[in-house]
A and B are shown apart, each in its own frame.
Chain A
Amino acid sequence: MTNPLTEQFSAPLTFNWTLSYRCNFTCSHCYSREEQCDELSTAELKLIVDRLAEHQVPFINFGGGEPLIREDIFVLSDYARQQGLNVSMNSNGWLLDRTAAERIKASGFRSVGISIDSAEARLHDDFRNRPGSFERAVNALDELSAVGVRSTMSAVISRINYQHFHELLDLAREHKVSQVYLHNFKCSGRGFKNRQELDLSPQEWKDFYLEALQVKEETKDLLISFDDPVIASLPGYAEKSLVKGSSCGKLSLHLRPNGDITPCGFIPLVVGNILHDDFEEIWYNSPVLNKMRNKEAKGKCQGCGAYEDCLGGCTARAFATTGDLSEPDPHCWK
């Protein structure tokens, strides 16, 4: 009854949707803080929802910028729910008080992710350049839990936290988080500028993943997730993901505030506009998307035994550092 995937899907499963690049924070690792883009009206955003529903995209995830900065976010999420879409969001938590949490609940969000970079308040606040942000983020988790919305925690792994991820997991438990995402460091936007200071060396990435995967296996009370395709090259790695390599352009796409589509939030290549272009044409025929789906091994990936599973690692990172989608991921330790 179940088959391996042999063919491309008819549409992405998820659209990661940046409604606005505006944010109340100025984080050191942010990929989008330097971006500027026109924003659409509520009516136009609703038209986008219609498009996504028409193409049977099941999930949208609001990100940013800070999604709660858009005052019409709940008008939009209510509308998306009515159209049968499943809605979630990632927030820094600053604006997520009880009233917002109740509104989130009423709007039927499937889950809300709160970004927390360190279990140590001072470090998190420093990193996010906003005193008090740790407290507000943790409070947001408690408010979500109080109203019965599933919460997740997102941490971008960097020098400030890679040796302390156990504390992040404990913090998640304390605040009834159901899933922790340990995101790979993307080297885009500010993350690129600050990468000397924040990024780990390939060997450190390897050691981190070996340990974190072990912890994941032993942890039963909390889901731990990674989004780094390069871990598929680790010996004995047996997780089954829905696709090999980066999922961007295969399972997900990203929407910019003006409706432009990019493969993911970290690859600034516009492949079309959801309001003005034919979506099927983009999805099936975009040269950029097809290049990402059919990468060719380059450099050290040529002849690498892991290529079949790893597909050169994170395409966004390769592109940010080399300008070529098919070059090996700079985090690769091989």
Chain B
Amino acid sequence: MKKLQRNSEIVWRIEKRRQQAVLDRLEAGEESGDEGTVILLISGMMHQLNLLGGMIWNLCDGQRNLDQLVAELQQEFDVDPATLQTDVREFVSDLVERGWLNYDQSTD
């Protein structure tokens, strides 16, 4: 299965304070909200990814395929595996379609 890789043209960073605030809310049993924890700068536009999106983005470093990515996230989130799998798949295919993520040519 092919590995997922961020488009190297895209400048991005984790917004650590916001990420921490969202994690603190989750910890306290509150809704995580849709706050952007990762920002992407693409052609002068800024896009923000929420906690799950940001985590997926962060893991797409060319070292993991989709299943490995889901497995890793499963350790972080206490959610139904099938739902997580669907959410991650949808998110990844959206970003691949936009050209923000690519499937690496090499396979494992």
| Chain A positions near chain B (C-beta within 8 angstroms) | 1-3, 5-7, 9-10, 13, 56, 58-59, 86, 240, 242
Write the nearest CB–CB distance from A92 to chain B, whole angstroms: 24
Structural contact, B11 and A2, CB atoms closer than 8 A: no
Structural contact, B41 and A58, CB atoms closer than 8 A: yes
**Chain A residues near B41 (CB, 8 Å)?**
13, 58
Can you list 23 A-B pairs with a CB-CB distance of less than 8 A?
A1-B49, A1-B53, A2-B36, A3-B35, A3-B48, A3-B50, A5-B36, A5-B46, A6-B35, A7-B18, A7-B35, A9-B15, A9-B39, A10-B16, A10-B17, A10-B18, A56-B14, A58-B12, A58-B13, A58-B41, A59-B11, A86-B11, A242-B46
Write the nearest CB–CB distance from A42 to chain B, whole angstroms: 26
Prevailing SS type, chain A contact patch? loop
Write the nearest CB–CB distance from B22 to chain A, whole angstroms: 11
Interface residues of B in 35-54 (CB under 8 A from A): 35-36, 39, 41, 45-50, 53
C-alpha gap A272/B49 in the complex (Å):
32
Residue of A nearest to B40 (CB): A2
Interface residues of B in 1-23 (CB under 8 A from A): 11-18
Known: A1-B94, A2-B48. 20 other contacts (CB 8 A): A1-B49, A2-B36, A3-B48, A3-B50, A5-B36, A5-B46, A5-B48, A6-B35, A7-B35, A9-B15, A9-B39, A10-B13, A10-B15, A10-B16, A10-B17, A13-B41, A56-B13, A58-B41, A59-B11, A242-B46
Q: Known: A56-B14, A86-B11. Is A1-B50 also a contact (CB below 8 A)?
A: yes
Q: Known: A7-B35, A9-B39. Is A2-B13 also a contact (CB below 8 A)?
A: no
**Chain B residues near A2 (CB, 8 Å)?**
36, 47-48
A2, A6, A7, A240 pick with most chain B CB within 10 angstroms = A2
| Chain B positions near chain A (C-beta within 8 angstroms) | 11-18, 34-36, 39, 41, 45-50, 53, 91, 94
Residue of A nearest to B52 (CB): A1
C-alpha gap A59/B49 in the complex (Å):
20
**Chain B residues near A58 (CB, 8 Å)?**
11-13, 41
Structural contact, B15 and A3, CB atoms closer than 8 A: no
Write the nearest CB–CB distance from B48 to chain A, whole angstroms: 5
**Chain B residues near A56 (CB, 8 Å)?**
13-14
C-alpha gap A52/B34 in the complex (Å):
28
**Chain A residues near B14 (CB, 8 Å)?**
56
**Chain B residues near A59 (CB, 8 Å)?**
11
C-alpha gap A58/B36 in the complex (Å):
17
**Chain A residues near B39 (CB, 8 Å)?**
9
C-alpha gap A58/B46 in the complex (Å):
13
Structural contact, B35 and A1, CB atoms closer than 8 A: no
Structural contact, A3 and B34, CB atoms closer than 8 A: yes
A6, A10, A58 pick with most chain B CB within 10 angstroms = A10
Write the nearest CB–CB distance from A152 to chain B, whole angstroms: 12
**Chain B residues near A242 (CB, 8 Å)?**
46
Closest 4 CB pairs of A and B: A56-B13, A58-B11, A2-B47, A10-B15
C-alpha gap A5/B34 in the complex (Å):
11
**Chain A residues near B16 (CB, 8 Å)?**
10
C-alpha gap A334/B37 in the complex (Å):
39
